[in-house]
Amino acid sequence: MKEIYINKTQEGQTIYKFIRKYFSSAPLSFIEKIFRIRDVKVNGKRVSKAYVVNDGDYVQIYVTDNQLEDFKKKIVLVPSKQKINIIYEDENILICNKPSGLLVHGDENENRLTLTGLVLSHLYENGEYDPNDSQGFTPGPAHRIDRNTSGLVIFGKNIKALQQLEELFKERHSIHKYYYALVLGHLEGKGEINKPLFKDEEKGLVVVKSVEKGGKTAITQYEVVEEYNDYSLVKVCILTGRTHQIRVHFASIGHPLLGDSKYGNFIENRRFEKRYDYRNQFLHSFSMRFDEIDGVLSYLSNKEFTASMYDKEKEIINELRKYK
């Protein structure tokens, strides 16, 4: 039998989710079986998969020593020479400025460098996280931005912080994200794009489609910051969090993001790449602001965190200013 003491880092999740993470190498059939034959107890009493673990609980799982060895294989975190650009960090959260070209989170079978991997290495080196003693919780991002988008990403370092952050991003009432986007052409001073979006899984594309045909409400607000000969730098706020929302919305009104290889103007992209040696969509998440919030993260109420553009984007903007 394996007995595990639950502390504040792990509380707040279902026992089923906890055990799936704790026995990360176990097949799903094994997890289902131990619940089916009631080989899981909390504080000496058998519980269902829906039970939510609390600080101070003792979880008992009836497994053999051989099963423990098979399902808890040692994980090795290799320190990376690439460091993360940390904007803010405390015992609950970590906010960093992601460079473009870096995935936030890869698939389980991928070996590519990711922002999540870099954050876990950072926490491991600081003694805040051990993959072999994680007790069923791994720090993770509360949201994602595209691989070729740069800017702010926030991580939850414990279960309560991560759950609250995920809820804030889901509801989108008390947290606000702002972006800078460089788009083709000139726009009016302020505007709103309200077009439902549909994600075509087979084609890997997001398209504008009515709600009646499966689209989901998507609202993007923008304000022009600067105008140049052929382009505009706009400040963007998304009121909904749809996949590729900013990119698809601006393309839909005839002002695609520069460098966007999926929804952009390909002829203009080639010209822009040749002139500025730039291959990513020009999109940077520069601000994250909290309203009044309760819970474990209440101290973040009315706080704002900002991240400046990376040098390459700054250089392009400075060069464009010469041709205003």
Question: What are the tens digits of pLDDT across the range 169-217?
Answer: 988 889 999 999 999 999 989 999 999 999 988 888 999 999 999 999 9
Q: What is the mean pLDDT of residues 29-54?
A: 88
* Cα 211 from chain centre: 26
Tell me whether the CATH fold assigned to 75-170 matches the one assigned to 172-324: yes
Q: Where are the domains of the chain?
A: 2-71, 75-170, 172-324
Which fold is adopted by the domain 75-170? Pseudouridine synthase (3.30.2350)
The class of domain 2-71 in CATH terms is alpha beta
Select the more confidently predicted residue: 136 or 168: 168
Tell me the residue type at 180.
Answer: Y
Mean pLDDT of the chain: 88
pLDDT at 80: 64
Q: How far apart are CA 8 and CA 213, in angstroms?
A: 44
Give the residue numbers marked as catalytic.
Answer: 146
CATH architecture of 172-324: 2-Layer Sandwich (3.30)
pTM listed for this prediction:
0.79
The b-or-e profile of 152-187 (16+ CB within 10 A means b, else e) is bbbbbbbbbbbbbbeebbeeeebbebbbbbbbbeeb
* Whether pLDDT at 107 is above 70: no
pLDDT at 172: 80
pLDDT at 152: 97
pLDDT at 293: 95
* Whether pLDDT at 258 is above 70: yes
pLDDT tens profile 309-320: 999 999 999 999
* Whether pLDDT at 131 is above 80: no
